[in-house]
Amino acid sequence: MKPARIATVTPVSEESAVGKVVAVYADIKATKKIDFVPNIWRVLATNPDHLELTWTRLKAIMHPEAAGRTSKLDPLMREAIALAVSATNGCAYCVNSHTAALRKLGFDAEAVGEVLAVAALFNSTNALADGYQIEPDVLPPLDG
């Protein structure tokens, strides 16, 4: 049976995965503790190298402990940034996915609203600072 239309290319189902795609799919499910492969990974699998590169990087940045490293950001802050960037870019898939992640981590609708309030505020002031071409303030240097 042909998979339902979810993208401009036909996604690679878990059953039809071969080669490095199999290992990446398994790692995604284990790392994220979920029992399905989200659409974005099944679509990226149409170019297996790119799937692997994207997953390796997302794992290292968003699941640092699973990638054997440490991060100074906690999961809530990372997902809040993810939602703010996705709202700024207007990405439907990403907004849905990162709102769900924030909810899983305990944020209720009001807290999601605070994240979007901050994102919206700075989309606004970014347009003002750029729209007036305002020069940066002269501040004491930051070291390191």
Residues 58-97 that bind a copy of itself (CB under 8 A): 58, 60-62, 69, 71-73, 76-78, 80-97
Buried b (16+ CB within 10 A) or exposed e, 122-139: eeeeeeeeeeeeeeeeee
Site membership for a copy of itself, residue 143 (CB under 8 A): yes
Q: Which of 8, 15, 33, 35 binds a copy of itself (CB under 8 A)?
A: 8
Closest CA to 59 of 97, 32, 96: 32
Site membership for a copy of itself, residue 44 (CB under 8 A): yes
DSSP state of 134: P
Number of residues engaging a copy of itself in binding (CB under 8 A): 88
Buried b (16+ CB within 10 A) or exposed e, 55-79: beebbeebbbeebeeeeeeebeebb
Q: Which of 20, 22, 30, 47 binds a copy of itself (CB under 8 A)?
A: 47
| Smallest separation, CB 28 to a copy of itself (Å) | 12
Site membership for a copy of itself, residue 16 (CB under 8 A): no
DSSP state of 12: -
Q: Which of 22, 53, 65, 66 binds a copy of itself (CB under 8 A)?
A: 53
Interacting positions 111-130 with a copy of itself (CB under 8 A): 111-130
